[in-house]
Each structure stands twice: as C-alpha cells, then as structure tokens.
Amino acid sequence: MEKTKKFLLPENELPTKWYNIMADMPTKPMPMLHPGTRQPITAEDLYPLFAKGLADQEMNSTDAWIEIPEEVREKYKIYRPTPLVRAYNLEKALDTPAHIYFKNESVSPVGSHKLNSALAQAYYCKEAGVTNVTTETGAGQWGTAMAFASKAFGLELAVYMVKISYEQKPYRRSLMQTWGAQVIPSPSMSTKAGRKIITEHPNYQGSLGTAISEAIELAMSTPNCKYTLGSVLNHVSMHQTVIGLEAEKQMEMAGEYPDVVIGCFGGGSNFSGISFPFLRHNIKDGKKTRFISAEPASCPKLTRGVFQYDFGDEAGYTPLIPMYTLGHNFAPANIHAGGLRYHGAGTIVSQLMKDNLMEAVDIKQLDSFKAGVLFAQTEGIVPAPESAHAIAAAINEALKAKEEGTKKTILFNLSGHGLVDMTAYDQYLAGDLVNYSLTDEDIAANIAELEKIIK
Ligand SMILES: *Cc1c(COP(=O)(O)O)cnc(C)c1O
C-alpha cells in the first residue's frame, strides 16, 4: 500500500487565532515583578519597552483565543502551513514500532520557527507607529527572522549578536544584512551594559543575557524605538501556537493523536508552540499526552535549575520573572546550539513544569549531533543543532517503545534546518566536538550568587 508521508493543510485551514494557554492553566503563572518596588507589573509598565499590542498580549490571562491580524496572516502564507511529515525512514533505521511525526518549521524563508513571532512583533510595532526596533540574537536565527520581518513591515532593525556566534556563524550575519538590518557583536562598546562586561571580562564571548541588556538599553535610549524578544515571553510562546494548531489538524488527517510531543528548549517558544494546543486537551478533555522539552546538558535550567524570581538578562534591566533558572549570571559553555544557551525558562512553561504538566530531559552535545546526522541520513534534512536535541529525545522515546514492545505515536517539532550551521557539523564529523559537564557545585555556586542579589 502507498504510504502517505506528508500531510499538507489547505491554505483556507490556516489558524485565524493564536491559542493563549494562560486562560486555561489550572495554576496561573505568578506575576512578573518590578525590580525596584517588587510590585506586580502591569501592561502599562511594559509600554515603554514593547509595542502596546504585544504588552497587552503579555499580560492577558483571560482570553484563550486571540485573533491573528489579517496582515500577519497574509505574511504567514509565504511559508505556512508547514508540512507534517511521517519519518518512516527514521523509524526503519531505529527498528521501532513507534510512529514518528515531525512538524517541519525549517521551510520558513529564514529556516526556523522564529518567523512566526517575528512577523507578529514587527506588525504590532508598525501598527503603533514605531520606526526603529532592536533585538538580540544567539545563533542568529531570531535576528534573521526579525530582519526579514522588519523589512516586511518597513522598520529599521539593530541586532546585538552574541559574539561567539557572530564569529562562528558569519552567514547568519550576512543574511541579516541582506535583509537590511544592522548587526553588532555583543558585548559591544556601544552600551553601558556592554562596556561594563568587556572591561570586567575582556575575553567574554557573549551570552544571550548580555545581548538582551544591550538591545534593551539601545531601545530605551532611542526615540520611537521598541525592543523585541525572540523567546521566553508569554506573547512569543502564544504566536508560536500556529505550529501546534496546524499540527493538530494534520495529525487528524494522519488518523493519529500523539502520545508524546517533543520540542527542543532554549527559552521555550518552539516547545510551547508545538505543545500548548495539545496540552489544552490534557487540561480540558483528560487526554494523557506527555510533553517533553529537550534542553542541552550544558544549560540545564529545567532539569537542574531552581524555580525562583530572576532577571531575564545579564544586567538586570528586565522585570523579575518567576522561572526555572540557573541564574542570570550563568555563563553557558560554547556549544553549537547557540539558540539553547539561555539561563532561564519562560514563566508559563516554568509553572507547567512545577505543576507536572510537562517533563524535561537533558541531551549531551555529542548525542545531539549523532541524532542530527542520523536524521539527515534517513529523512534528508540537516537539522539545526538546536532541533537535533528534540530529535535525540524523540529517538530515545522511540527506542524505549521498542524495548517495551509498545506502539507509541511521537510528534516532535523540527524547529529549523542546519544549512547555515555546517561549521558545527564539520567539527562534529572531524571529532573535534566535546560534551560539557556541569557539576552540582558549579550550579549551586551560581544559584547562591543569585540568591544574594534577589532575596
Ligand atoms: C531559537 C531556536 C531555538 C530555541 O528557542 P526556543 O524559544 O526555545 O524555541 C530552537 N531551535 C531553533 C532552530 C532556533 O532558532
């Protein structure tokens, strides 16, 4: 019998609303706090930093469905709906009874899921009459997405790019510049936050936390300029639910429902995007799907961090966020999955984790590349090093199903392709990559520092 490999939605079935899981959560997330007064912040407190439409979404915990503006839906049509694919060849290579599906977000013009939120954020900035936007980028994925989205909505963009990635991934920089953005390696001398860290640690290779501080500082000191963030925040996770909402219909076309849903985890946006629409059926309809986030062993906030209030950035410019964290002062190892090198997890995901509505696993760098190469050789797509963490977790689940002799339906999100990450694959294939281990003492020392700052 012919096997259907690819499930495509017709354009008129594209989601018209984003799903806001906050409305349905059994325990609402704790509020973000003003760092000075320690009082819960309001949407108004966020207006200086974010476009109003986005600040309002950030604080909305009552409306489960938020209309996707017509102009954003039009731009989504450039690459959405994305395919849902049954990974028959990977299943065969693993000799597993599990059915493995992946949602292919790598087909977006920028090569990752990040464009789903970038287009929305650029739209709300444009709508608010903003002319300039700033942001940070780790591996360059968010920066490229914001660069294309800013061009699409006629905004000027400045991107602080984590220095190690600026050097390791020059083509992401070229992509951003091709789409018209200005790119600055971070830490830089252009901001107070950057100057401070450069003078204290001259060889610092940068982190997302520092780049965020720089981008916020530039936005706050530039007229008619707003800041945009590629992950962690509630509104970003909500924009990404187009992934899971499409996948829900596509799984139906395939005649299956996932037992396990997996996403790699940086700040939580792609994991949220694939998971939340299915998680709502656990919360509301008693479904028993498991949700697994896959984080790097070298940056294990969900598996080994603590749940507490912390800053979202290095310099402490953001509100205090209730999150699983390793401490905003945490300097992650220079792994190639740059998009996963972030010290904390978003508020919603942190609460879900605390309430046992989801799980987390950690994946070592070499295991992620091994999984990435197997996926490339079986399914043909070279995955982003970040996405390879989700693939590794999916393979582990598929092998468990084989051991147990149970049929299991696994759905994972392929958050991006790795065609601009071939330096990393080169190094892996040459045997030059290593695993980074983090001792309990390292983690405890960092968290002790954090507790001194945030009592
Ligand atoms: C940024 C990025 C991630 C990690 O960010 P999340 O917000 O956790 O999704 C994962 N995969 C790719 C391809 C990315 O670009």
pLDDT tens digits, 173-186: 999 999 999 999 99
Average pLDDT of the residues in 143-161? 98
Name the average pLDDT for the chain.
95
Give me the count of residues in the chain. Answer: 455
Distance of alpha carbon 303 from its chain centroid, rounded? 17
pLDDT of 337: 85
The model's pLDDT over 213-256, given as tens digits with 9 standing for 90+, comes to: 999 999 999 999 999 999 999 999 999 999 999 999 999 999 99
- List, in order, residues 6 or more apart from 226 with CB less than 8 Å away: 49, 50, 51, 125, 128, 130, 132, 133, 134, 219
pTM of the model: 0.96
Q: Is residue 4's pLDDT more than 90?
A: no
Q: How many helices (H) and strands (E) does the chain have?
A: 19, 15
CA distance 65 to 63: 6
Ligand 1 center–CA 405 separation, angstroms: 32
Ligand 1 contacts CB of residue 141 (under 6 A): yes
Confidence grade of residue 1 (pLDDT, cut at 50, 70, 90): low
Ligand 1 center–CA 49 separation, angstroms: 23
pLDDT of 338: 78
Ligand 1 center–CA 85 separation, angstroms: 20
Token digits of residue 324: 């699983």
Ligand 1 contacts CB of residue 365 (under 6 A): no
Which CATH number does 71-111+235-451 carry? 3.40.50.1100
Q: Is residue 29's pLDDT more than 60?
A: yes
Average pLDDT of the residues in 7-16? 95
The model's pLDDT over 135-145, given as tens digits with 9 standing for 90+, comes to: 999 889 999 99
Ligand 1 contacts CB of residue 231 (under 6 A): yes
CA distance 49 to 58: 12
